[in-house]
Structure 1
Amino acid sequence: MSLCEDCIKGVRHEGEPEGKWETVNGIECYVGTPSGAVFQRDSVLLYLCDAFGPQFLNAQLLIDDFARNGIKTVAPDLLNKDPIPVDVFDSEEKWKAFDIPSWLDRHGSAVTRGILDKIIAGLKDQGITRFAAIGYCFGGRYVFDLAFDNITSVSIANHPSMLKSPDDLEKYFSTSHAPLLLNTCTIDQQFPESAQSQADAIFGGGKFAPGYKREYFDGCTHGFAVRADLSDPKLKAGKEGAFTASVKWLNQYGFEPGSGKEGKL
């Protein structure tokens, strides 16, 4: 399993992060907490980052937006302070020169899942009893892995990477009880339209009892849900559409908004 060039391309977004860094069971996390007094204090949305980690401003702004919609969101540092540097965005020379295979060797499934297991144990010690997971690219792989073990009760994968289709889709169907939302796009080497069609054939038409939906954002490229060029109206609409679909999916399956204000749907 590997990543593609689009996994390390993108555009920096602008804004001021509002969340806080916290250490949970030894793992550093960027945490978005709803500002209102009313939100589900026993439930957490796990934000599973792409290769740029929760240190990436784009990710922090998304986490803050989930919090504004009344959903406490925790983004563990799955990459152990070793994200791909954002300056690869600056030129074709930089992203072509980046050694993706060596980076992936440091972030294999055993290492990453170990970090996830620690953060989940730590959050349970804090009284969290219910988890949803949303993943972007690299993190999308672990949305599936957590669902395989029925640790999570709701799943959202945005342009997931490193999945085997149809194997992982069939395993999800046969083992998981978590409703699944896939936010997909036109140009995606990691989860191409052939895999998207396989997902519809396996889960669609009411066959997956817990719930299934696939959103498709025409003209968008892998990474659009977190790294889109917001100066392009189509890409901006795709990024915002994936966020809106995700909040609605969470609300539909029991992760209700609290009293967040700015950014609330």
Structure 2
Amino acid sequence: MSDCCKTGFNWNGSPTGTETTLADKKTYVTGSSKKAAIIILHDIFGWTFTNLRLLADHFAKEADATVYLPDFFDGEVIEPDTMENPEKRAQFDVMAFIGRNSKDLRFPEIKKFSQALKAEYPKVGAIGYCWGAWAAFRLGADPTLIDAISMAHPSLVETSEIDAVKVPVQILAPETDPAFTPELKAHANKVIPTLGVYYEYVYFPGLTHGFAAKGDVTDEKQKFGLEKAKRDAVAWFAEFLH
């Protein structure tokens, strides 16, 4: 991961969901569907990040799903103003944070959460932002865990995780992304069409890593891109969860 993962903009708005505990994880939950659930696999700003909670509310209403945003960082919270505060950004050691939240440590918890939802809902989807995208791919390797996945500006993804996907997969990819490199993009676009799963790669020209969860809503291009990414993900889940 790179420094772009800790930059961005906070959005205005008041989330409308509630907090609960599921599969031993504190969780923001919104929506009332009994037919479909969506897991939001958060970025480094975690389960309390207002931007992601607002997106969860949109998904719940527009994709007719109950949406869950669990805490996969064991209560550690990075203050959202870090994105716009150069001093706080400089003090925040991204790689040390990732070391405390490694794949080996967190994926069993993510798998357990998905299993809990699959026991309750006929269809379950997952969308990962930045840090959470690798976990979406890993869930997607097992159709008993998840029915469809999406991800925006993925981080930490390995080619082996791309190669193993077995469910419909959507990638929301900005033009410039040091985390999801041109080589990884090319690998995904070469390999996934050979795997026999539905695949959608959506390219966002002129946009950069983080746009879908932390874009600047005062900038017309970024605002259009983040809203389009939301609409694309909603359409994806509406197609494959209903």
TM-score normalised by the chain length of structure 2? 0.93
Superposed CA offset, 1:86-134 (max 9, x none): 1212322321221112211211112212321332343345x22432110
Query: 1:68-107 counterparts in 2 under 5 A?
Result: 68-69=61-62, 70-107=64-101
Match of 2:40 in 1: 47
Q: Report SS of the residue matched to 2:164.
A: helix
Cα offset, 1:54, TM superposition: 1.6
Cα offset, 1:143, TM superposition: 0.1
Match of 1:56 in 2: 49
How many angstroms apart in 2 are the aligned matches of 1:211 and 1:123?
A: 23
**1:13 matches 2:19:** no
How many angstroms apart in 1 are the aligned matches of 2:137 and 2:160?
A: 11
Match of 1:32 in 2: 30
Structure with the greater alpha carbon radius of gyration: 1
C-alpha contact 1:186 1:192 (8 A) present in aligned 2: no
**1:213 matches 2:197:** no
Query: 1:182-193 counterparts in 2 under 5 A?
Result: 182-193=171-182
Superposed CA offset, 1:162-186 (max 9, x none): 012x3332232xxx1x111000011
Query: 1:66-215 counterparts in 2 under 5 A?
Result: 66-69=59-62, 70-124=64-118, 127-150=120-143, 151-164=145-158, 166-172=159-165, 176=166, 178-204=167-193, 207-215=194-202
How many angstroms apart in 2 are the aligned matches of 1:251 and 1:101?
A: 36
Query: Could you say if the C-alpha distance between residues 240 and 117 of structure 1 is closer, same or farther in structure 2, counting changes exceeding 3 Å?
Result: same
Cα offset, 1:46, TM superposition: 0.8
How many angstroms apart in 1 are the aligned matches of 2:192 and 2:99?
A: 32
The code of the aligned residue for 1:139 comes to: G
Question: Quick one: percent identity of the two aligned structures?
Answer: 27
5+ long unaligned stretches in structure 2: none
Choose between structure 1 and 2 for higher RCO, CA contacts under 8 A separated by at least 6 residues: 1
Deviates further, 8-17 or 147-156: 147-156
5+ long unaligned stretches in structure 1: 257-265
Q: Report SS of the residue matched to 1:148.
A: coil
Query: 1:249-264 counterparts in 2 under 5 A?
Result: 249-253=236-240, 255-256=241-242
TM-score normalised by the chain length of structure 1? 0.85
How many angstroms apart in 2 are the aligned matches of 1:230 and 1:121?
A: 35
Superposed CA offset, 1:129-157 (max 9, x none): 43211000001010011112331110101
How many angstroms apart in 2 are the aligned matches of 1:84 and 1:65?
A: 23
The code of the aligned residue for 2:16 comes to: E
How many angstroms apart in 1 are the aligned matches of 2:102 and 2:161?
A: 17
Q: Report SS of the residue matched to 1:79.
A: coil
The code of the aligned residue for 1:252 comes to: E
C-alpha contact 2:35 2:65 (8 A) present in aligned 1: no
Match of 2:211 in 1: 224
C-alpha contact 2:114 2:146 (8 A) present in aligned 1: no
How many angstroms apart in 2 are the aligned matches of 1:120 and 1:210?
A: 20
